[in-house]
Structure 1
Amino acid sequence: MAANDWKQKCGSELKLEENNLPMPDTVDWKFVYEKKPLGRNLLKNPSPFGLDQNTPPPPKKELAGMFGAEPPRSEPEGDFSDWTTSEETLPYDTSGIPAGVAICYLPRFSWFTLEQKVDLKEEGFWDELLDDFQPDIAIEDWYEESQLHKSVYVLKVTLLGADGQTVIKEHMLSPEEDQRNDSHTWKRVTHVFSGYGPGVRQIHFLHKLKNRDQIHVTHATGSSVIVRATRSTRP
């Protein structure tokens, strides 16, 4: 198939013409057609814990040392392929404990971090679309409501330049939990990048989940990064 035929195929079947997206002749339209980049989740393995936001989160496990409790693990259970993971053990919190009081037990908290980087050119996007049109980039994530701690979830999504270092736009969220009420449901997190300026070539997605004593684990699921064929703010 000739290059112009691939361009016409993209224009009609991927609705690029319908959405008035830039279609220069210099783009490899066969590659774009094979990738079909717009409207799909660019994150790989978006639910590494094997959970679904349409079903209730798993019941909480007992703490180590209690009858029938499971032994602690080095990291949460799941298939974390395509994610870079790390764990940060936090210092014991002794605030509010009077001097001289004997301490029998203090919970040990840690952050479990999952991060992933998306190369937009490798996913089928082209310069004129990203720089001139600047389509909306929609972020969605779901995390488990918890009385574990006042802060159990952090999201940080960064739009980067071609070097993977230059920050063009960033969104960070660290909500506080209502520890008086625990309906044990999923909480939805969303954000849309629009009018972010030229030069975006990579997206770095990172979320942190708080654990206690390696037994009480905060889960996340349904993570997504989707570039839409529309824009809500003119560049």
Structure 2
Amino acid sequence: LMPNPRIQKYFVTSYGPCFKSQLITLQKEGYWNQLMDEKRPEIVVKDWYAARFDCGCRYEITVRLLSEDYIVLDENFLLSLQISHTFQNYPAGVRYIWFQHGGQDTQFWAGWYGVRVTNSSITIGPLTCV
């Protein structure tokens, strides 16, 4: 079952490692540098995944808060069914958020039998970016 009935699509992996990533430019999303440096609003990351009933899977997600020069200022690597992580008290200088998730099936079946990923979001303060 999907976590949200309005969502009908998901990213699915195969027998080899499959990942997708996105780089979010905070300034393009309306978050100016002074806000990120002085107020440092909470950054909440959420994701959902599920395996098939007949094949196990491996899932992973990595989220990095990056500086203007793409230096990692904070990072979180999570493994669970529905993940949620809140970045708080991170260093000044965050300009980008790099989000990557995916995995693979654990029985190495040919085809798309791995983890299904959907309903991903990154929320900064009260607004959603992804």
| TM-score, normalised by the number of residues in structure 1 | 0.45
Question: Partners of 1:161 and 1:222 in 2: how far apart?
Answer: 26
Counterpart in the other structure of 2:4: 54
Greater C-alpha Rg: 1
Determine if the alignment matches structure 1 residue 214 to structure 2 residue 119. no
Counterpart in the other structure of 1:169: 74
Question: Partners of 1:79 and 1:190 in 2: how far apart?
Answer: 18
Identity %: 29
Confirm or deny: 8 A CA contact 2:104 2:114 kept in the other structure.
Answer: yes
Question: Partners of 1:119 and 1:54 in 2: how far apart?
Answer: 27
Counterpart in the other structure of 2:83: 189
SS in 1 for 2:16: strand
Counterpart in the other structure of 2:123: 226
Determine if the alignment matches structure 1 residue 119 to structure 2 residue 32. no
| TM-score, normalised by the number of residues in structure 2 | 0.79
Structure 2 counterparts to residues 1-235 of structure 1, below 5 A: 52-55=2-5, 109-146=15-52, 148-149=55-56, 152-163=58-69, 165-175=70-80, 187-211=81-105, 212-229=109-126
Question: Partners of 1:79 and 1:189 in 2: how far apart?
Answer: 16
As a proportion of its length, which structure holds more strand?
A: 2
Compute the displacement of 1:173 (Å): 1.4
Compute the displacement of 1:110 (Å): 1.1
Question: Partners of 1:219 and 1:197 in 2: how far apart?
Answer: 33
Confirm or deny: 8 A CA contact 2:10 2:117 kept in the other structure.
Answer: no
Q: Deviations over 1:78-97 (max 9, x none)?
A: 787xxxxxx8x8xxxxxxxx
User: Partner amino acid for 2:73?
Assistant: I
Compute the displacement of 1:154 (Å): 0.4
Aligned residues: 119
Confirm or deny: 8 A CA contact 2:63 2:97 kept in the other structure.
Answer: yes
Q: Deviations over 1:108-141 (max 9, x none)?
A: x311101000000111111221001100000000
Q: CA RMSD in A?
A: 2.6
Gaps in structure 1 of 5+ consecutive residues: 1-50, 59-77, 81-86, 90-108, 176-186, 230-235
Gaps in structure 2 of 5+ consecutive residues: none
